[in-house]
């Protein structure tokens, strides 16, 4: 079993914001499958298979800064190792359209990742960092920027970026981390 967690915030006002990039990728991975809700785990989830690997797609409903509560609860229930946990999230340090895959040391200032590291007690889970930085990022505070919607030019590229990310996830599950990194970083 692999957990694939997309980070985001619940609620309509956050739906198409940059901070919900992880949820947008999960929606693509989910296809026509219906999301279930667990109040106990504070999540929306789908159990399915990708590349013949059983996965659980996870959308924490705890808001970004408390994502670790949900992730740790589910990871402990399945007794998962770090390499079984894949987290997809927006990254302000990367230019819009960039994808960086790997196991990274720090949270890089991302509060959702900080929460996950704090609650799991380790940092070497697999990460898909999706770049959101653009010309507006330098003009407004980061906490406001991540809650902006994708601009017109970004929306034109969004489907391709999401497709690249889902292909990279499939590559990771079908082969290994090194292969996904070599093809999609």
pLDDT digits (tens, 9 = 90+) for 158-184: 999 999 999 999 999 999 999 999 999
- Quote the percentage of the chain above a pLDDT of 90: 98
- Quote the percentage of the chain above a pLDDT of 70: 100
Question: In what helix (H) or strand (E) does residue 22 lie, and over which residues does it extend?
Answer: helix 21-30
Q: Which of 19, 73, 110, 119 is catalytic?
A: 19
CATH number of 2-184: 3.40.50.1470
In a 3-state reduction of DSSP, which class is residue 15? coil
Q: What is the mean pLDDT of residues 99-113?
A: 95
pLDDT digits (tens, 9 = 90+) for 20-45: 999 999 999 999 999 999 999 999 99
Rounded to whole angstroms, how far apart are CA atoms 124 and 46? 24
Residue whose C-alpha is closest to residue 83's, from 60, 101, 62: 101
Question: Where in the chain are the domains?
Answer: 2-184
Mean pLDDT of the residues in the chain: 96
- The beta-strand segments (E) located in 28-172 are 36-38, 43-50, 53-60, 85-95, 99-102, 126-133
Report pLDDT for 4.
98
Active site residue 110: no
pLDDT digits (tens, 9 = 90+) for 66-85: 999 999 999 999 999 999 99
Report pLDDT for 107.
94
Q: Which two tokens stand for residue 32?
A: 């026509």
Residue whose C-alpha is closest to residue 86's, from 66, 106, 64, 71: 71
Is 13:95 a contact under the CB 8 Å cutoff?
no
Rounded to whole angstroms, how far apart are CA atoms 93 and 43? 27
């Amino acid at each position: 079993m692999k957990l694939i967690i997309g980070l985001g915030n619940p609620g309509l006002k956050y739906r198409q914001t940059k901070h919900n990039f992880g949820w947008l990728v999960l929606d693509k991975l989910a296809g026509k499958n219906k999301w279930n809700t667990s109040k106990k785990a504070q999540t929306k989830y789908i159990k399915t298979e990708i590349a013949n690997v059983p996965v659980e797609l996870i959308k924490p409903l705890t808001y970004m800064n408390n994502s670790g509560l949900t992730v740790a609860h589910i990871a402990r229930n399945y007794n998962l190792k770090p390499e079984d946990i894949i987290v997809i999230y927006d990254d302000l340090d990367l230019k819009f359209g960039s994808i960086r895959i790997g196991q990274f040391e720090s949270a890089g200032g991302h509060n959702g990742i900080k929460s996950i590291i704090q609650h799991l007690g380790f940092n070497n889970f697999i990460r898909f960092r999706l770049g959101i930085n653009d010309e507006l990022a330098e003009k407004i505070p980061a906490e406001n920027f991540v809650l902006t919607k994708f601009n017109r030019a970004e929306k034109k590229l969004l489907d391709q970026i999401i497709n690249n990310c889902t292909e990279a996830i499939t590559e990771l599950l079908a082969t290994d981390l090194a292969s996904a990194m070599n093809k999609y970083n």
